[in-house]
Amino acid sequence: MAKVKSAYVCTDCGAEYGQWQGQCQACKAWNTLKEIKLSSAAASKAKSAKSSAGYSGANDNQVKAIHQVNLDEVPRLSSTMSELDRVLGGGIVPGSVVLIGGDPGVGKSSILLQVMCQLSTQMKVLYVTGEESLQQVAMRAKRMQLPDEQLRLLTETDVELICHAAQTESPKVMVVDSIQTMQLAEVSSAAGGVSQVRETAAYLTRYAKQNNVAIFLVGHVTKSGEVAGPRVLEHIVDTVVFLEGQSDSRFRTLRAIKNRFGAVNELGVFAMTERGMKQVKNPSAIFLSRGDEASPGSVVMVVWEGSRPLLVEIQALVDESPYGAPRRVTVGLDQNRMAMLLAVMHRHGGVQASDQDVYVNVVGGVKVSETSADLAVLCSILSSMRNKPLPQDLIVFGEVGLAGEIRPVPSGQERIIEAAKHGFKRAIVPIANVPKSGVPGMEIVGVKSLQQALNAL
């Protein structure tokens, strides 16, 4: 019997140690080391299997001069969904591993089943499920009225048996649902544990690279919104995307937070229907479902998501505070940044809100992380304080500095053009973002300071 050894692995960064200690020396996190069992026989077996496996890119292991590297563009496969292709950077890259995370019931399995059914009419694909039976997957495909005649299904949790079956089927695209249910016989821990998730993901990634198969891994998330398992899981795969959505809304957003083959922070928008995920070609129309009558505290801004502009509405509510410490609540924005903006408005705009409760919300569940929302937030707060509605055809964007200056934002001209397409007639933007040739049908007001912006309102 092979001797079993122990190691301690950090669940945040994946660093290994020979004995337990309170703090990880690599990422400085406390109480994150978990014990895993290591078998020397299993390690030698995996090493021999790796050396004997056929690897299509064996010549890439040789040392080459940089001018000898082939710079031809990597061919991509269309997923049959343009929104998903956008998030992936232009399509599915053969040999890549994509991790899709999201809350339970958000639609991870549904969107992948749609993609696989559509791709099955063009190429060989394999859908592997460790959570559902074949009947459950088939019933969902029938309910969604998908072309499932050519789709190949497999119910299995042993990664070695899955790869053996894939070697026989020779699919170009494979789905594994989910990585937390997969296991390796050599790893002596339960499925979903730190060591199992780490080793099974590495095994599947190695198989994808060796056989040039694109693999989609479904990942569970914790209550804090992170992918369950060790943080090293996100380092192993090539792309990490999150499917997000609120329980009271049928709209879903797919966002890339890591992509070795494209840009990060790309956004795809879908609508959950009885027949699965439906692509939303014009997401700005969703987030701009405003009433016909203008109301105080509402203004429209343009955020930049990945490679395209997106129009969203920002609402603010300012009311007298019954407490000694006024509340500062934000939904979709950084709360600390709003507190900073209120201080700037008091110092450089002459507007004080120290005795007022301030609530700011980004309509539609969109999360705005860029600084272009600064000026729009202050305008909506001032509109609510004065109880004066802003024009319905007005857009505002710009970064506000601590000295009260209005700083330019990237892709300013593209944002203004997108707003003009949706019928907006006036814009208050940083003076450095004003197009030299102007935009037809759009009155653009360039401002240098917060005081100029408030006067322009």
What's the pLDDT tens digit per position in 355-391?
A: 899 999 998 778 888 899 999 999 999 999 999 999 9
Confidence category of residue 452, pLDDT binned at 50, 70, 90: very high
Query: Is there a contact between 307 and 110 (Cβ–Cβ < 8 Å)?
Result: no
Confidence category of residue 60, pLDDT binned at 50, 70, 90: low
Helices (H), 27-66: 40-52
Parallel, antiparallel or unpaired: strands 443-447 and 251-259: unpaired
- Please write the tens of the pLDDT for every residue from 404-448: 999 999 989 999 998 998 889 999 999 999 998 888 889 999 999
User: Distance of CA 289 to CAs 275, 332, 368, 420, Å?
Assistant: 24, 17, 18, 17
Per-residue pLDDT averaged across 40-56, rounded? 44
- Tally Cβ neighbours within 10 Å of residue 445: 17
- Please write the tens of the pLDDT for every residue from 13-39: 777 888 889 998 888 889 888 877 665
**pTM of the entire structure?**
0.72
pLDDT for the residue 4: 56
- For 377, the token pair is 């937030």
- Please write the tens of the pLDDT for every residue from 184-239: 988 877 888 888 898 999 999 999 999 999 999 999 887 777 777 777 888 999 99
pLDDT for the residue 378: 96
pLDDT at residue 43 greater than cutoff 70: no
pLDDT at residue 61 greater than cutoff 70: no
Count CA atoms within 13 Å of residue 222 on its CB side: 8
pLDDT for the residue 292: 67
Per-residue pLDDT averaged across 167-196, rounded? 89
